[in-house]
Amino acid sequence: MAKTFEVTILGVNSAYPIHGRHPSCQIVNYDNRLIMIDCGEAAQIQVSKYSIKRSKINHIFISHLHGDHCYGLPGLLSSYGLQGRKSTLNLHGPIGIKKFVEGIFEATEAYLPFELNILEYDTEEQSTVVIDSSITVETFPMKHRIPTMGFKIIETIPEFNIKVDAIKEFEMSIEEIKGAKIGNSIIRDGVEIANSKLTFPKKDGRSYAYCSDTVYDPDLLPYIMNSSLLYHETTYLDDHESLAKERMHTTLGQAIEIAKAAKIEKLIVGHYSSRYQDIDVFLEEGLPKFSGLMLGEEGRVYEV
Q: What is the pLDDT of residues 222-239, one digit of tens each?
A: 999 999 999 999 999 999
Q: Does residue 263 sit in the same domain as residue 170? A: no
pLDDT at site 99: 98
Of the pLDDT bands very low, low, confident and very high (cuts 50, 70, 90), residue 1 is: low
**Nearest in space to 115 (alpha carbons), one of 74, 80, 83:** 80
Give the domain CATH number at 233. 3.60.15.10
Model pLDDT for residues 51-92, shown as the tens digit of each residue: 999 999 999 999 999 999 999 999 999 999 999 999 999 999
Distance CA 43, CA 30 (A): 20
pLDDT at site 152: 98
Q: Does residue 219 sit in the same domain as residue 186? A: no
Mean per-residue pLDDT for 93-121?
Answer: 97
Beta bridge mates, 210: 151, 231
Range of the domain at 175: 164-197
Check if the beta carbon of residue 56 is closer than 8 Å to that of residue 3. Answer: no
Give catalytic residue positions.
68
Model pLDDT for residues 182-207, shown as the tens digit of each residue: 889 999 988 999 999 999 887 779 99
Higher pLDDT, 158 or 47: 47
Q: Does residue 87 sit in the same domain as residue 179? A: no
Distance CA 177, CA 273 (A): 55
Q: Does residue 104 sit in the same domain as residue 137? A: yes
What H or E segment, with its residue span, contains residue 235?
none
pLDDT at site 161: 87
Does the pLDDT at position 297 exceed 80?
Answer: yes
Does the pLDDT at position 216 exceed 80?
Answer: yes
Task: Tell me the pLDDT of the chain averaged across its residues.
Answer: 96
pLDDT at site 231: 99
Distance CA 287, CA 293 (A): 6
Mean per-residue pLDDT for 119-126?
Answer: 98
The shares of helix, strand and coil residues in the chain, as percent rounded to the nearest 5, are 30, 30, 40
Q: Does residue 287 sit in the same domain as residue 191? A: no
pLDDT at site 249: 98
Could you give the percent of the chain with pLDDT greater than 90?
Answer: 94
Q: Does residue 150 sit in the same domain as residue 266? A: yes
Q: How many domains does the chain have?
A: 2
Of the pLDDT bands very low, low, confident and very high (cuts 50, 70, 90), residue 268 is: very high
